[in-house]
């Protein structure tokens, strides 16, 4: 949302509950859509976990004054179909009927670069649970592609329309130069659905995935600094 649009946002609309995170963490959770003194003062006495996503050039003075702390910077990889560079491998395939248990084994512990894993107020177990439960929900919605290598589960892509929401590679296959082949198969399957552009969101701290996206022809836009606060 533009700063001009934010000026006219109702204070109540600027504080949004995030029920998915609340379910996983067992506390009230919120996202702040407008960082202002009035909004932050309103939430400063309400217990819960808060997230604020702001432009990197936005002044963080108010956030620091109200006890928010930095957790991550996200960036949006994007790639139009003509720019996509695909890498083929005979042993790699896409499975639309992958077993959920196999995918959860790949997911669990795979998102250490995530903002909740980097939040010292959230336990690693709860952070893992959040991603596992998110994957389960997307699987129930038929929004997960299983990725196979030599007939064995190698990873997954979870998506909504043209947006890649979650992806992970099996720990046993990491560091072997296989990621670009597995990701190529997944991206090609999504382009084959008729999407003209694919988009995602990743932590800028995850250099391996940044380089992977770049190798496939993705560019990057829309960085956001992520700040959290826990009020007990």
Helix, strand, or coil here: 105?
helix
> What would the mean pLDDT of 67-88 be, rounded to a whole number?
97
Q: What is the pLDDT of residue 11?
A: 74
- For residue 4 the two structure tokens come to 């001009």
Tens digits of residue pLDDT in 6-34: 444 567 789 999 998 999 999 999 999 99
With H, G, I as helix, E, B as strand and everything else as coil, classify residue 11.
Answer: coil
Mark whether 116 and 67 lie in a shared domain.
no
* Cα distance between the two ends of the chain: 29
Shared domain check, 93 and 65? no
CA angle 62, 50, 204 (to 5 degrees): 80
DSSP code, position 172: G
Enclosing domain of residue 130: 77-224
Among 83, 31, 27, 21, which Cα is nearest to 53's? 31
Say whether both 26 and 140 belong to one domain: no
φ, ψ at 38 (rounded to 5°)? -65, -45
CB 178 within 8 A of CB 154: yes
How far apart CA 166 and CA 197 sit, in angstroms, is 17
Decide if pLDDT at 39 tops 50: yes
Quick one: pLDDT at residue 9? 56
The residues that bridge with 31 in the sheet, in sequence order, are 16, 51
* Same-domain check for residues 119 and 188: yes
Q: Are 32 and 126 in a shared domain?
A: no
**Is 0.85 topped by the overall pTM?**
yes
Q: What pLDDT, in 10s, does the model give residues 43-62?
A: 999 999 999 999 999 999 99
Instruction: Please give the pLDDT value at position 6.
Output: 47
- List alpha helices for the chain, DSSP H: 3-7, 19-25, 37-43, 61-65, 100-107, 124-140, 179-192, 207-215
Q: Based on the domain organization, do 82 and 58 belong to the same domain?
A: no
Residue 1 confidence class, pLDDT cut points 50, 70, 90: very low
The number of domains in the chain is 2
């Amino acid at each position: 949302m533009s700063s001009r649009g934010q000026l006219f946002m109702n204070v109540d609309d600027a504080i949004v509950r995030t029920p998915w995170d609340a379910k996983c963490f067992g506390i009230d959770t919120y996202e702040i859509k407008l960082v202002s003194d009035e909004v932050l003062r309103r939430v400063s006495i309400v217990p819960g976990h808060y997230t604020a996503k702001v432009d990197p050039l936005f002044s963080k003075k108010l956030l620091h004054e109200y006890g928010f702390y930095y957790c991550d910077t996200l960036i949006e990889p994007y790639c139009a179909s003509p720019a996509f560079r695909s890498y083929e491998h005979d042993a790699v395939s896409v499975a639309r009927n992958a077993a959920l248990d196999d995918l959860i084994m790949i997911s669990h512990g795979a998102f250490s670069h995530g903002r909740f894993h980097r939040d010292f107020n959230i336990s690693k177990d709860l952070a893992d649970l959040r991603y596992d439960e998110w994957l389960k929900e997307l699987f129930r919605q038929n929004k997960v592609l299983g990725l196979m290598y030599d007939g064995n589960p190698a990873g997954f892509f979870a998506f909504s329309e043209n947006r890649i929401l979650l992806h992970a590679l099996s720990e046993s296959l990491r560091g072997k130069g296989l990621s670009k082949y597995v990701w190529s198969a997944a991206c090609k399957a999504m382009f084959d659905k008729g999407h003209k552009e694919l988009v995602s969101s990743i932590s800028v701290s995850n250099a391996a995935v940044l380089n992977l996206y770049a190798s496939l022809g993705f560019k990057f836009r829309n960085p956001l600094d992520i700040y959290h606060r826990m009020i007990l």
